[in-house]
Structure formats: structure tokens, C-alpha cells
């Protein structure tokens, strides 16, 4: 029962808990989407290493398959055009390049690829391995 002198209060909805829930859901989806990225590449038999450390996935991958063919982000390139093409992709920013070299590839060819890549300023190299 209402008293006649009681003022009418407008109906209010408290949206602060709703905002908290929305931000919690947004955070969940943002964090879970970080784990959905997939790294694609040419299948190679990577060498095994016990001291391998996880690296941030790079934007660029250079793959040297068992036949000695070089690929930059799944596009076949020659050793002489590897550096200019990657330099045009990287620009002036710093980047990381992951080298996927098959374990059957000669050491000399991997060193030649690394030598071409090290001439690009601001570029960091990582060699992909499989854990033992």
C-alpha cells in the first residue's frame, strides 16, 4: 500500500554490472582469438634440438626444402631475389624471419640464405626446429 505523500521515483536500470559482463566476454574472445592463428608453410623435416625455445611467430617465413628450393611466404624465389623482395616487404620496420630448412639441406645453402637476410637492417632471424 502506498502513502499519498510518497513521491514517484522513476524506474532505473543499473547498467554497471552489464558493462562488466560485456567487458569480460570481450576480453575472453580477444584472448582466445590469439590462440587461433595458424602458421602455414611448406612441409619440411625440421632438425631436432633439445635447447629450442618458443619464438613469437614472424610475419615472414623462408623455407628451404630438401631439393634446395627457396620459398618466401610460400612463393618460390631464387637466392639472388630473396633479399630485394623481402626488403620491399619489410620496409623500414623491424621484423622477424623464421627459417624453415629441411634437415637434408646442406649447411652451405642455409648459411647463404642467412647471409642474404642478415644484410637487411632491423631483421631478426630464427631457425625453426622440432623438440626432441
Give the whole-angstrom CA distance, residue 25 versus residue 19.
10
> Which CATH number is correct for 48-131, 3.20.20.190, 1.10.150.20, 3.20.20.70, 3.30.420.270?
3.30.420.270
pLDDT for 71-80, tens place per residue? 888 888 888 8
pLDDT for 30-45, tens place per residue? 888 887 765 555 566 6
Among candidates 98, 46, 104, 102, which has minimal Cα distance to 73?
Answer: 98
Q: For a pLDDT cut of 90, what percent of the chain falls above it?
A: 9
Can you give the pLDDT at residue 46?
63
Q: Which own/partner contact pairs does 15-21 have at CB distance under 8 Å and 24+ positions apart?
A: none
Residue 12 CA from chain centroid, whole number: 47
Q: Which own/partner contact pairs does 70-78 have at CB distance under 8 Å and 24+ positions apart?
A: 70/113, 71/42, 74/40, 74/41, 74/42
Can you give the pLDDT at residue 19?
93
> Average pLDDT for residues 47-53, to the nearest whole number?
68
pLDDT for 74-128, tens place per residue? 888 888 888 888 888 887 777 888 888 888 888 888 888 888 888 888 888 888 8
Amino acid at each position: 500500500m502506498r502513502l499519498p505523500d510518497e513521491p514517484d521515483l522513476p524506474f532505473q536500470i543499473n547498467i554497471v554490472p552489464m558493462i562488466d559482463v560485456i567487458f569480460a566476454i570481450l576480453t575472453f574472445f580477444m584472448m582466445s582469438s590469439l590462440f587461433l592463428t595458424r602458421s602455414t608453410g611448406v612441409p619440411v623435416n625440421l632438425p631436432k634440438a633439445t635447447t629450442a625455445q618458443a619464438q613469437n611467430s614472424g610475419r615472414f617465413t623462408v623455407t628451404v626444402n630438401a631439393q634446395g628450393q627457396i620459398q618466401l611466404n610460400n612463393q618460390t624465389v631464387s637466392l639472388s631475389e630473396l633479399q630485394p623482395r623481402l626488403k620491399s616487404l619489410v620496409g623500414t620496420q623491424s621484423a622477424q624471419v623464421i627459417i624453415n630448412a629441411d634437415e637434408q639441406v646442406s649447411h652451405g645453402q642455409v648459411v647463404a640464405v642467412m647471409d642474404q637476410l642478415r644484410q637487411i637492417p632491423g631483421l631478426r632471424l630464427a631457425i625453426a626446429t622440432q623438440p626432441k
